[in-house]
Amino acid sequence: GLELSHCVGTNSLGPTGPWRSGGPCKMKRVRTVFKPEQLERLEQEFLKQQYMVGTERVDLAATLHLTETQVKVWFQNRRIKWRKQSMEQKAAKLSQFGVIQPASADSTDSKDHEEGTVDVEL
């Protein structure tokens, strides 16, 4: 897998689980690298439903040999990507008709941090 670098000059023997300790340095998360088969299945599930909870998430994680947290975070990140794509499509459609969308503080940034209702009107 892909590991994030930590402090220069420390001699670590490698990760012990998902977190690396770099001595006096802050611990950094080792980035999960998904296999193509895992990504394909995650995308299939996302097309069916954007929120994966409870036993469905546990079962999917077990099937894909991932942790429940990895599946949960993947779905969170995928929803953010989906919202961003939806906003870009909406902006492109509006610009086709000569409608310029004003930039506002309540754009993608604030929605990235909430898991509320998504209002997509195309």
Q: Dump pLDDT digits (tens) for 55-86.
A: 999 999 999 999 999 999 999 999 999 999 99
**Interval 38-63 mean pLDDT:** 95
**Number of folded domains in the chain?**
1
Share of the chain above pLDDT 70, in %: 60
Helix count and strand count (H, E) for the chain: 4, 2
Name the residue type at position 11: N
Q: Indicate which CATH number applies to the domain containing 77.
A: 1.10.10.60
Query: Does the residue 66 lie in any domain?
Result: yes
pLDDT of 29-39, one tens digit each?
A: 788 899 999 99
- The pTM of the full predicted model, rounded to 2 decimals, is 0.59
Asked whether residue 79 is domain-assigned, the answer is yes
Res 30: pLDDT: 84
Place of tokens 């429940």: 68
Rounded CA-CA distance 35/21 in Å is 25
Which helix (H) or strand (E) element contains residue 56?
helix 54-64
Residue 3 CA to residue 15 CA, distance in Å, equals 8
